[in-house]
Amino acid sequence: MKKILLSLAVVAALSLASCGGKTADKATTTTEQEVAQESGTKYDVNLEESVITWKVAHKGGFAPRWGTIKLESGSLTANDNGLNAGDFVINMNTITADPASVGKDEGKQSTDLDAHLKNADFFDVEKYPTVTFQITKVEDFAGNADNSVLGDANALVSGNITILGNTVNTTFPAVVTILDGKTTIVAKFVANRADWGLKFGTTDESGAAINPAEWGISKDMEIGINLVANEVK
């Protein structure tokens, strides 16, 4: 089964670290789980219409950075009971920072940040060119507008997210729509990048980051999923 690349991860690049107020749902995490079995109609991800967004900031929400990452491949499966399986792959070579998030007064360009995120200090794209996401479970969302930034969230999606070769099962609310030969998934959640060993710079034998600058970066990473998939005829 293909892997749902959720580059979901862009650590230094994906986070909520907050700009005041709740802007994303808090994801829950656990160990890697068994991947869900496909049942029903298959939908191929539309790579042109789908995108992963990321946001990260320094501690306290200072100097937030945000941008996008493109999908490389993906598919979803649904039956009469709704979405039940799927996966997608995110191409980490496409991680891009929005120029608006990099202040000119810092003497930096967004392309400098792009390169920084891709090197061994963060995602080490040469060694780990993709991030994957594989659905392990989809349940009805029992929450309401008060406990999700998505007022119309109707599903609780769990999936194995693999970043830097480390797999963590992550659960978050989502809006899943299946209509007229098209399936869409919309979600925005925050996770702890340290769960995937995503740290700035090298680490010591215990896995702790050696670079002092690591302490100034929020461990919260915000990931947005905007997935569009079309029925396979």
Residues 26-42, mean pLDDT to the nearest whole number: 97
Given a cut of 60, whether residue 205 has pLDDT beyond it is: no
pLDDT score at 201: 52
Question: Which pair of tokens denotes residue 181?
Answer: 């030969």
CB under 8 Å, gap of 24 or more: what pairs does 176-182 form? Answer: 176/82, 176/83, 176/138, 178/78, 178/82, 178/83, 181/230, 181/231, 182/43, 182/228, 182/229, 182/230, 182/231
Spacing of C-alpha 233 from chain mean position: 29
Given a cut of 90, whether residue 190 has pLDDT beyond it is: yes
pLDDT score at 228: 98
Q: How far apart are alpha carbons 65 and 57 in whole angstroms?
A: 6
Residues 198-221, mean pLDDT to the nearest whole number: 61
Q: Look at 7-11, 102-106, 120-124, 165-169 and tell me which has the smallest mean pLDDT.
A: 7-11
Given a cut of 50, whether residue 1 has pLDDT beyond it is: no
Confidence of residue 49 (pLDDT cuts 50, 70, 90): very high
Q: Look at 58-67, 88-97, 101-110, 177-186 and tell me which has the smallest mean pLDDT.
A: 101-110
What's the mean pLDDT when you consider all of the chain? 83
The full 3-state SS of the chain, as one line of letters, equals CCCECCCCCCHHHCCCCCCCCCCCEECEEECCCCCCCCCCEEEEECCCCCEEEEEECEHHHCCCEEEEEEEEEEEEEEECCEEEEEEEEEEEEEEEECHHHCCHHHCCCHHHHHHHHHCCCCCCCCCCCEEEEEEEEEEECCCCHHHCCCCCCCEEEEEEEEECCEEEEEEEEEEEEEECCEEEEEEEEEEEHHHHCCCCCCECCCCCECCHHHHHECCEEEEEEEEEEEECC
Q: Look at 86-95, 103-112, 128-137 and tell me which has the smallest mean pLDDT.
A: 103-112
Q: Are 37 and 136 in contact (CB under 8 A)?
A: no
pLDDT score at 174: 96
**Smallest Cα–Cα separation from 133: which of 159, 95, 158?**
159
Given a cut of 60, whether residue 14 has pLDDT beyond it is: no
Given a cut of 50, whether residue 7 has pLDDT beyond it is: no
Over the stretch 119-177, which tens digit does the pLDDT of each residue have?
A: 888 899 999 999 999 999 999 997 655 578 998 999 999 999 999 999 999 999 999 99
Name, of 36-40, 62-66, 138-142, 198-202, the range with top average pLDDT: 36-40
